[in-house]
């Protein structure tokens, strides 16, 4: 476990990705199964609807004492006083967030190109998403597939906490941790599962077992 990011299984959730139960139900089930940080990623909501959903989800994350991250909307993040925010390469840059939000807030930044590791945005971020490890139908506007070699490469170039995202599941989680990721972020494998709690438990078990082996 990375000392600056003590979370191993990161759920990235949207209403659209939840197939069998409403978002709040999936979130509760996933937490029961071992998810230890949650990001709300809603791409098609108005800011006011996004805030409403974030408020409802924050009640659950607060109850379970786990951090809530808001995807790509500083207004929403501020409105619900979330633990942090996650931004991509084409979103509000981390340097700007630093200037406009409390200094104790946590900023995640997605790495799509190796060159980003040298920029001021990576420096300003607290942790990095490696995006995507494998191509996925959940996000199609991506640049490359990092694969395990990409994780190893990025691991050799930065000490920051690394979160692997993109088609992560119980079958590939251990290899991704072994390659150098600190945490696994999941959308579909959990949100579209018939038993989100059971699936989360399985993935968490794979991650923990691999961390113990390292
Ligand atoms: N960023 C890179 S891949 C991705 C995001 C948000 C989606 C991952 O979704 P899934 O369903 O876990 O492959
Ligand atoms: Mg984005």
141 alpha carbon to ligand 2 midpoint, in Å? 10
β-pairing, 127-130 with 84-87?
unpaired
What's the pLDDT score for residue 43? Answer: 95
Please tell me the pTM assigned to this model. Answer: 0.98
User: Interface pTM (ipTM) of the complex?
Assistant: 0.97
User: Domain limits of the chain?
Assistant: 9-159+175-194
Atom of ligand 1 nearest to the CA of 191: 11
Ligand 2 centroid vs 8 CA: distance in angstroms?
Answer: 22
Q: Which pLDDT score is estimated for 213?
A: 87
Confidence at residue 214, expressed as pLDDT on a 0 to 100 scale = 81
Q: Which two tokens stand for residue 164?
A: 């692997």
**pLDDT tens-digit readout, 185-214:** 999 999 999 999 999 999 999 999 998 888
**Is 43 a known ligand-binding residue?**
yes
Q: What are the structure tokens assigned to 20, written together?
A: 């069998």
Q: How many residues does the chain have?
A: 214
pLDDT value at position 92? 97
Q: What integer pLDDT is reported at residue 85 of this predicted model?
A: 98
Residue to mutate (ligand 1; options 166, 167, 189; most atoms within 8 A of CB) = 166
State how far the Cα of 30 lies from the Cα of 24, in Å rounded to an integer: 10
Q: Which CATH architecture has domain 9-159+175-194?
A: Alpha-Beta Barrel (3.20)
As for ligand 1, residues whose beta carbon falls within 6 Å of it are: 12, 131-132, 136, 138-139, 165-168, 186-189
Q: Which residues of the chain have pLDDT under 50?
A: none
Q: How many CB atoms lie within 10 A of CB 100?
A: 10
What is the per-residue pLDDT for 103?
Answer: 94
Compute the distance between CA of residue 189 and CA of residue 56 in angstroms, rounded to an integer: 23
153 CA distance to ligand 1 middle (Å) = 20
Residues with C-beta atoms within 5 A of ion ligand 2 = 72, 88, 91
Q: How far is residue 116 CA from its own chain's centroid?
A: 18
CA distance linking residue 7 with residue 203, whole number of Å: 13
């207004």: which residue's tokens? 75
């Amino acid at each position: 476990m990375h000392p600056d990011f003590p979370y191993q299984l990161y759920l990235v959730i949207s209403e659209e990705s939840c197939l069998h139960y409403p978002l709040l139900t999936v979130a509760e089930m996933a937490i029961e199964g071992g998810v230890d940080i949650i990001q709300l990623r809603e791409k098609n909501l108005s800011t006011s609807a996004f805030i409403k959903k974030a408020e409802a989800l924050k009640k659950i994350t607060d109850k379970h004492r786990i951090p809530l991250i808001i995807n790509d909307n500083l207004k929403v993040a501020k409105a619900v006083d979330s633990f942090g925010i996650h931004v991509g390469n084409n979103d509000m840059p981390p340097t700007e967030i630093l200037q406009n939000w409390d200094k104790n807030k946590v900023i995640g930044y997605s790495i799509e190109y190796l060159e980003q590791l040298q920029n001021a945005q990576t420096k300003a971020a607290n942790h990095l998403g490696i995006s995507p490890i494998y191509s996925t139908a959940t996000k199609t506007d991506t640049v490359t597939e990092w694969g395990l070699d990409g994780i190893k490469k990025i691991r050799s170039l930065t000490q920051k906490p690394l979160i692997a995202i993109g088609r992560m599941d119980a079958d590939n989680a251990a290899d991704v941790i072994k390659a150098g990721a600190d945490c696994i972020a999941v959308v579909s494998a959990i949100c579209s599962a018939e038993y989100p709690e059971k699936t989360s438990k399985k993935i968490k078990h794979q991650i923990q077992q691999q961390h113990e082996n390292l």
